[in-house]
């Protein structure tokens, strides 16, 4: 008998829970460093808690989920930090541009969403926060991400796409774009900006859209108003008026 999506996803999560990253002093598996995360959440990446519909029409792939100090704070404070995070608030605004049924109205990690969306990241581990002079973790401070971090767990991301079978994939940022290109054996554009705004047909009939990362740094290299226009271009294709 063919396994259901739920069964396949559960098996993939169970496999990931035992995974150790090669840079294990810099990139960590959240299930192995936070007992409360491991016991409460059967997900691969914390972003999947926000939206994890296995029948998602849109799979949204970011770069990575913050750092160990930020995740620890979220676990202690019931994800309150995530609700006010500038990046997540900007994502809300961008998804509103897509219109129903994809428009988002809040960041909520505590209520299971029914929207046909699945959120995850190209880098599936959590960056180790840097330590201050008192040997305490500094929230929001970690070493720069490395390409090998997303390359290392590409099999998990590829399997996630195979399980969910989204109609559209939205890759946010260079790392997510390069990860999808690697999975589908596509040669990426010389610069990511050349790919933004152009639907890319994938070999399994899915369509890839590339958008700039909407962090403060991302908006400094591609202004927020231009990014709004990028998302409207996506809407014109997937949800025309």
pLDDT digits (tens, 9 = 90+) for 210-224: 999 988 888 889 999
What residues form DSSP beta bridges with 214?
none
Position 157 confidence tier, pLDDT thresholds 50, 70, 90: very high
pLDDT digits (tens, 9 = 90+) for 35-92: 999 999 999 999 999 999 999 999 999 999 989 999 999 999 999 999 989 999 999 9
pTM of the model: 0.95
Among 47, 78, 73, smallest CA distance to 172 is for 47
State the average pLDDT over residues 163-186. Answer: 97
Q: How many other C-beta atoms are found inside a 10 Å radius of the C-beta of residue 14?
A: 11
Domain positions in the chain are 5-169
Distance CA 138, CA 144 (A): 14
- Mean pLDDT across the chain: 92
What pLDDT was estimated at residue 142?
72
- pLDDT of residue 133 exceeding 80, the answer is no
Q: Which two tokens stand for residue 143?
A: 């070493």
């Amino acid at each position: 008998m063919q396994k259901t999506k739920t069964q396949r996803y559960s098996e993939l999560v169970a496999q990931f829970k035992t995974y150790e990253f090669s840079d294990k002093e810099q990139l960590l598996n959240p299930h192995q460093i936070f007992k409360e995360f491991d016991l409460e959440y059967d997900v691969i990446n914390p972003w999947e808690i926000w939206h994890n519909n296995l029948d998602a029409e849109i799979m949204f792939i970011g770069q990575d989920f913050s750092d160990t100090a930020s995740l620890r704070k979220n676990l202690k404070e019931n994800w309150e930090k995530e609700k006010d995070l500038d990046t997540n608030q900007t994502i809300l605004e961008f998804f509103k541009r897509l219109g129903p049924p994809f428009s988002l109205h809040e960041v909520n990690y505590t209520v299971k969403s029914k929207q046909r969306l699945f959120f995850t990241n190209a880098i599936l581990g959590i960056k180790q926060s840097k330590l201050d002079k008192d040997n305490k973790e500094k929230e929001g401070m970690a070493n720069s991400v490395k390409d090998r971090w997303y390359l290392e767990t590409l099999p998990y991301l590829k399997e996630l796409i195979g399980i969910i079978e989204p109609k559209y994939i939205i890759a946010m940022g260079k790392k997510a774009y390069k990860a999808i290109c690697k999975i589908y054996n596509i040669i990426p554009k010389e610069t990511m900006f050349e790919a933004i705004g152009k639907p890319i047909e994938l070999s399994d009939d899915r369509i890839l859209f590339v958008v700039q990362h909407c962090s403060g740094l991302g908006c400094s290299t591609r202004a927020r108003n231009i990014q709004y226009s990028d998302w409207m271009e996506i809407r014109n294709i997937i949800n025309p008026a």
